[in-house]
Amino acid sequence: MIPYWLLSCLLYLSISSPKLSEAKQKATVLITGGGGYIGSHTIAEMLDDKYSVVVIDNLSNCYAFNDTEKPESLKRVEMLTKKKVIFHNTDIRDSSGLNKLFKSYKFAAVIHFAALKSVSESVRKPVEYYENNVAGTNSLIQAMKNNNVKKLIYSSSATVYGSPQYLPLTEKHPTGQNITNPYGKSKYFTEEILKDLSYSDNEWKIILLRYFNPVGAHPSGLIGEDPTDIPNNLMPYLSQVAIGRRNHLDVFGSDYPTPDGTGIRDFIHITDLAIGHLRALEKLTNPAFKGCRAYNLGTGKGYSVLELVKAFERVSGRRINYKLTERRKGDLAIVYADPKLAEKELNWIAKRYIDQMCEDTWRWQRQNPNGYQSDQDEP
Ligand code: NAD
Ligand code: UDP
């Protein structure tokens, strides 16, 4: 029997625009953590835009059939784009592995997604988080320096702003204050290291992309967010309730100073976020760009938890069971971006809004009820 996701791949390829295979190939970029959610979607956009990629991932948070195979997410990206993804099962902390890689390819730049990202796990395992995220980045930049590759895009987060002193959050908002967990601090510490690096040597060109709340999936339904454990984040939890994998959603807090009492976030569609990386790459490779610069990637608009639940019900036609519960420790009431700097300097703006975020998440969830392992689960 042909799996559902393969049928949809064939359908998507038959209706999507023809590839301009004669167009000139662009540079080769090293992608760390490219098997994960944001990396895989960014790679799909990069391949469509004629970049070549070499991906490293240690498979700690993405599904591969075994240790020697590339992650399923990247196999799907290859099907989707009809392009090859070179993959190495390499850890960013493995200096000799990284050095070999830098000697084997000529990288124009590095996009660094690899990190551990669970807030709650980081509270239980701070040392592992600092080791992986901070020491791991140090190891990566050391290898880049040794091999004279000095252009880097770093996956940062709105969490570096801590508790907002004003809204919307601009890039000038102070960072590093009142960050409540080691994950957030690991993002902040890494930003500081990268800033110091750029002050020390003006050949370095670094862009810090501060993501707000990435949600959604590729419109083909072939790639999406695939939590390996019980989801911590709202959207994947919500969609697992909709598909029947979980009984109900706990809404954390209904007494925030917001119109419906639930938290407000700036949800951004994963395709918009992925395209933000293309614009950042263009900026980074422009000879006029210097130093280290941060950009918010958000829509500039906040939606509450209950507004997202209602939108999901509307597009999926499913009722979402939810219970209003206690606030989650460390959560903030309202967080949303001012994305104007990215519009002005990167020529980037988020175009996809809440219904499309829910529609694309739902398509991915329906077609892959158990994520990338769905095929293996079939009898
Ligand atoms: P993800 O877990 O889906 O992807 C990260 C990938 O990195 C995984 O495939 C994992 O196996 C790999 N990885 C982890 N440690 C590694 C190591 N030491 N060596 C090699 N590979 C390693 O996460 P994501 O949602 O795609 O996030 C990507 C980046 O964006 C992370 O840096 C994260 O902190 C940042 N970010 C994510 C969000 C979000 O809500 N998803 C928000 C803000 C920032
Ligand atoms: N949230 C919730 N139930 C969940 C997960 C999250 O009510 O199961 C809420 C959370 O309290 C916050 C919002 O949804 O107000 C977004 O949380 P998420 O973990 O997705 O992202 P965060 O903004 O914390 O990085």
Q: Measured in angstroms, how far is the CA atom of residue 30 from the centroid of ligand 1?
A: 15
- Sign of the torsion formed by the C-alpha atoms of 225, 229, 231 and 232: negative
In the prediction, which pLDDT does 12 show?
A: 58
Atom of ligand 2 lying closest to residue 215 CA: 20
For residues 268-291, one letter each, b for 16 or more C-beta atoms within 10 angstroms of the residue's C-beta and e for the rest, the string is bbbbbbbbbbbbbbebbeeeebee
* Ligand closest to CA 253: 2
pLDDT digits (tens, 9 = 90+) for 182-191: 999 999 999 9
Is the shortest distance between the CB of 189 and ligand 1 below 6 Å?
no
Mean pLDDT along residues 325-329: 95
| Tokens read off for 212 | 């707000």
Contacts 24+ apart (CB under 8 A), 172-179: none
**pLDDT value at 228 more than 90:** no
pLDDT at 19 over 80: no
CA nearest to 281, candidates 194, 152, 157: 152
- Report the pLDDT value the prediction gives residue 2, as an integer from 0 to 100: 59
Q: Which residues contact 290 (CB under 8 A, 6 or more apart)?
A: 202, 205
Q: Which among 82, 213, 84, 115 has a CA at the least distance from the CA of 158?
A: 213
**Residue pair 242/248 in contact by the 8 Å Cβ criterion:** no
Cα(5) to centroid of ligand 2, in Å? 29
Domain 28-376 is classified in which CATH homologous superfamily? Answer: NAD(P)-binding Rossmann-like Domain (3.40.50.720)
Q: How many CA atoms lie within 13 A of 62 on its CB side?
A: 29
* Mean pLDDT over the full length of the chain: 94
Q: What is the pLDDT of residue 20?
A: 45
- How confident is the model at residue 14, as a pLDDT? 52
pLDDT tens-place string over residues 172-226: 999 999 998 999 999 999 999 999 999 999 999 999 999 999 999 999 999 999 9
pLDDT of residue 366: 96
Task: Kindly report whether the global pTM for this prediction surpasses the value 0.85.
Answer: yes
For residue 10, the model assigns a pLDDT of 56
**Model pLDDT, residue 18:** 44
Residue predicted with more confidence, 78 or 4: 78
The residue nearest atom 4 of ligand 2, judged by CA position, is: 234
Quick one: average pLDDT of 295-321? Answer: 97
Let me know the angle formed at the C-alpha of 331 by 330 and 335, rounded to the nearest 5 degrees: 135
CA of 73 to the centre of ligand 1 (A): 13
| Helices (H), ranges, 82-218 | 95-104, 119-124, 126-129, 136-146, 182-200
pLDDT bin (cut points 50, 70, 90) of residue 24 is: confident
Instruction: Please report, for residues 29, 268, 322, the alpha-carbon distance to residue 303 in angstroms, rounded to integers and kept in the order given.
Output: 35, 11, 17
Amino acid identity for residue 65 in this structure:
F
Ligand having the closest approach to the CA of 225: 1
pLDDT digits (tens, 9 = 90+) for 103-134: 999 999 999 999 999 999 999 999 999 999 99
The sign of the torsion formed by the CA atoms of 34, 37, 42, 44 equals: positive
- Write out pLDDT tens, residues 274-307: 999 999 999 999 999 999 999 999 999 999 999 9
Band (9; pLDDT cuts 50, 70, 90)? low
pLDDT for 67: 86
Supply the DSSP string of 200-260, one letter for each residue. H-TT-EEEEEEE-EEE---TTSSS----SSS--SHHHHHHHHHHTSSS-EEEE-S-SSSTT
Q: Which one has a higher pLDDT value, 208 or 6?
A: 208
Model confidence at 23: pLDDT above 80: no
CA dist., res. 121 & res. 243, Å (int)? 26
Pocket of ligand 2 (CB under 6 A): 213, 232-234, 237, 249-253, 263, 265, 305, 328, 331
Residue in this structure with the two tokens 């551990």, named with its chain if needed: 116
Q: What is the DSSP string of 272-302?
A: HHHHHHHHHHHHHTSTT--EEEEEEES-S--
| Residues with catalytic roles | 183
Kind and range of the H or E run holding 29: strand 28-32
Question: Is residue 7 within a helix (H) or strand (E), and if so which, with residue range?
Answer: helix 4-15
Strand 28-32 with 52-56, pairing: parallel
pLDDT for position 25: 86
Regarding the beta carbon of 136 and ligand 1, being less than 6 Å apart is answered yes
> If you measure from the C-alpha of residue 344 to the centroid of ligand 2, how many angstroms do you get, rounded to a whole number?
30
The angle formed by the CA atoms of residues 246, 5 and 15, to the nearest 5 degrees, is: 130
Residue carrying the six token digits 């175009």: 351
Task: Evaluate whether 251 touches 323 at the Cβ level (below 8 Å).
Answer: yes
**Is the pLDDT confidence value at 267 over 80?**
yes
Closest-approaching ligand to the CA atom of 112 = 1
Residue 365 pLDDT > 50? yes
Residue 82: Cβ within 10 Å count: 11
Ligand 1 binding pocket mutation candidate from 31, 38, 90, 161 (most atoms within 8 A of CB): 38
φ/ψ region of 82 (left if φ > 0, alpha if ψ in -120 to 50, else beta) reads: left
pLDDT value at position 150? Answer: 98
Ligand 2 pocket mutation pick from 328, 332, 361 by most atoms within 8 angstroms of CB: 328
- Burial environment of residue 17 by CB neighbours within 10 A (0 to 12, 13 to 18, 19 or more): exposed
Mean pLDDT of 10-25: 55
pLDDT reported for residue 123: 94
Is pLDDT above 50 for 152? yes
For a pLDDT cut of 70, what percent of the chain falls above it?
Answer: 92
Of the pLDDT bands very low, low, confident and very high (cuts 50, 70, 90), residue 4 is low
- Quick: pLDDT tens for 158-175: 999 999 999 999 999 999
